[in-house]
Amino acid sequence: MNQKIIIFTIISMTLALIGLMVIQIYWIQNASSVKEANFRRSVTEAMVKVVEKVERMEKHKALKSNQYESMFNFNRHLPYDAFLTRGALDSMISLILNSRGIDTRYEFGIYKPEGNQFLIKKSDNYQKELIKKGYAFPLFQNDIYTSPEYLCIFFPREKQFLLTELWGMLLISILLIIVIVYSFTYTIATIFKQKRLSEMKNDFINNMTHEFKTPISTISLACEALSDKDLRDSGNFLESYLTMIREENKRLSVMAEKILQTAVIDKGQMKMTREKINIHDIITDVIKNLRIQVEIKDGEIIRNFGAVRSIIEGDKVHVTNLFYNLLDNANKYSPKKPLIRVTTDNVQNGIVIHIEDNGIGIGKNEQKKIFDKLYRVPTGNIHEVRGFGLGLNYVKAIVDEHHGKISLESEVNRGAKFKVFLPFVIKE
């Protein structure tokens, strides 16, 4: 995929995501403002009704006590304790608020600014809030001979109550934002993954073409040489060319088998034969097969078998391939005088094998990807290192099938150290 198209897609999706989130937040704010306005209106309507009831109660009490005429002449109301108690006022407020759908904690008090005192109050809490932040409603406005008095009410959990009213919309909005962000992240990650897989696929095809082309060319040349009548009469040359064809054909078979093994692993169809195998014997045989290649580069393989128990349950063929891949990589990526150390130790449930080399090492950024299929670590100017990027992926699959673990410690130009743990018994 074109780099410019990817960048354009990411920018477009980012702007669209930001736009959607801004709109969502704007809607939530509007809804919150509407809810707050409705709450204030409901409180005002409820408290106006409470004020009217309090004034009616006062008039009713004044009539019964034959004080209404004198009060009418002087515009003064009865003392509150003559017609109203704190409990009655609390019940009245609660009933009217509930009828308006307001079911949250509240504090109230009848406040007289002159003298800065509460004539009636629900409790001693939130007195400052009642005066500064509460809703205030004047009482007995026709009483012009006494200083003003106010019925104040304050809701300590007003914000929580409004949020509770909005919880459905908030929950849906949050879920939508999470889904959008997740989808955006997943899409971007998929784009980059597909781009990386495309690049790895191209590298794999190029490497595979090169790897197959060399033995095919060698076999082709050998066949042409064998078609020469003069060479066919020479026994030594004939045997030499036949050996060459056999070796190159064997090489082709090994490479084809690697690719087929990867396909089998991907499908989850890999079959393992469980038997008792000796890890020390397997590693020794692998070292024998690779020793010549290491010694050609003036290198050395040092083994230190410290494990007392070296027999485990596993598949001999796959475990052999596992160590062959690791040791072959240690040799290939050690350009000068390879020094490869193989050590074993026992732990409680199995055996630990360390394979350490003095090669070019692997950077921190690449270490997380080395077990990915088709991934090959960049090797700088060492162009002679060939491969398909399937070896370590296969190694990881084999270790996992044996319920083991594999890890890597490495620094650039300071070699690599693979640690493989294989249990004595494969648990189901």
What is the predicted pLDDT for the residue at 73?
Answer: 47
What is the predicted pLDDT for the residue at 423?
Answer: 93
User: Averaging pLDDT over each range in 79-83, 103-107, 113-117, which range is the top one?
Assistant: 103-107
**Mean pLDDT, rounded, for 2-26:** 79
What is the predicted pLDDT for the residue at 65?
Answer: 67
What is the predicted pLDDT for the residue at 345?
Answer: 94
pTM higher than 0.75 for the full model?
no
Q: Which CATH class is domain 168-267?
A: mainly alpha
The letter for the amino acid at 105 is R
Average pLDDT in the chain: 79
The letter for the amino acid at 1 is M
Provide the token pair at 95: 């009933």
Provide the token pair at 173: 């909005």
pLDDT of residue 367 exceeding 80, the answer is no
**Mean pLDDT, rounded, for 174-190:** 82
Cβ 314 vs Cβ 422: under 8 Å: yes
- Per-residue confidence at 383, pLDDT binned at 50, 70, 90? very low
Task: Summarize pLDDT for 331-350 with one digit per residue, the tens.
Answer: 888 878 889 999 999 998 89
- Per-residue confidence at 388, pLDDT binned at 50, 70, 90? very low
What is the predicted pLDDT for the residue at 280?
Answer: 94
Which is nearest to 123 in space by CA: 100, 164, 156? 156
Task: Summarize pLDDT for 24-82 with one digit per residue, the tens.
Answer: 788 878 888 888 888 889 999 999 999 888 888 888 877 776 655 554 544 567 788 78
What is the predicted pLDDT for the residue at 140?
Answer: 84
First to last CA, the chain: 43
Q: Cα(174)–Cα(165) distance, rounded to whole angstroms?
A: 15
- Tell me what percent of the residues of the chain surpass a pLDDT of 90: 12
Burial class of residue 315, CB neighbours in 10 A (0-12, 13-18, 19+): buried
What is the predicted pLDDT for the residue at 309?
Answer: 92
Task: Summarize pLDDT for 186-215 with one digit per residue, the tens.
Answer: 888 887 777 777 766 666 666 666 566 667
What is the predicted pLDDT for the residue at 237?
Answer: 66
Task: Summarize pLDDT for 225-270 with one digit per residue, the tens.
Answer: 777 666 656 656 667 777 777 777 766 776 666 666 665 555 555 6
CATH 3.30.565.10 assigned to domain 275-423? The reply is yes
Residue ranges per structural domain of the chain: 3-165, 168-267, 275-423
What is the predicted pLDDT for the residue at 284?
Answer: 92
Residues ≥6 apart with Cβ < 8 Å to 48: 137
Task: Summarize pLDDT for 121-174 with one digit per residue, the tens.
Answer: 888 888 888 888 889 999 888 777 677 888 899 998 888 888 777 777 778 878
pLDDT of residue 279 exceeding 80, the answer is yes
What is the predicted pLDDT for the residue at 200?
Answer: 63
Q: Cα(363)–Cα(366) distance, rounded to whole angstroms?
A: 5
